[in-house]
């Protein structure tokens, strides 16, 4: 995060941007980094889930397959929570940028 701040400050000095534009750029870059990290974490979580499913299939050959449906519903709930969080981040980012643009102009 500190690298992003330093890069934006250097851009401000080179391009002679106003302070509000610098803050806007910093917030947007930090939001983008947060979204990228969330997507990477989500992909890793999906891979872990796939690995767990493979292990479970090997262990449960003797048992009846009555419990297969339970895990699927939980996964859907997690996906919905992630989508809601992404929408909240995008809305927050948009409102911050709008407020800064109103102040600037």
pTM above 0.85, yes or no: no
**Domain extents for the chain?**
2-54+70-104
**How many alpha carbons fall within 13 Å on the CB side of residue 31?**
19
pLDDT digits (tens, 9 = 90+) for 39-75: 887 777 777 766 655 555 555 555 555 555 555 555 5
Residue 20: pLDDT band with limits 50, 70, 90: confident
Helix, strand, coil distribution of the chain in percent, nearest 5: 90, 0, 10
- Region class of 83: left (phi > 0), else alpha (psi between -120 and 50), else beta: alpha
In this predicted structure, what is the pLDDT of residue 49? Answer: 67
d(CA 70, CA 101): 48
Kindly report which listed range (77-81, 83-87, 97-101) carries the lowest average pLDDT score. Answer: 77-81
């Amino acid at each position: 995060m500190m690298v992003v701040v330093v890069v934006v400050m250097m851009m401000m000095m080179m391009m002679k941007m106003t302070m509000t534009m610098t803050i806007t750029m910093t917030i947007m870059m930090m939001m983008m980094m947060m979204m990228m990290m969330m997507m990477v974490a989500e992909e890793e979580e999906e891979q872990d889930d796939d690995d767990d499913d493979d292990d479970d299939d090997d262990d449960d050959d003797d048992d009846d397959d009555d419990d297969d449906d339970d895990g699927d519903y939980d996964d859907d709930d997690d996906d919905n929570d992630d989508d809601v969080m992404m929408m909240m981040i995008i809305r927050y980012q948009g409102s911050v940028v709008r407020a800064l643009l109103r102040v600037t102009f």
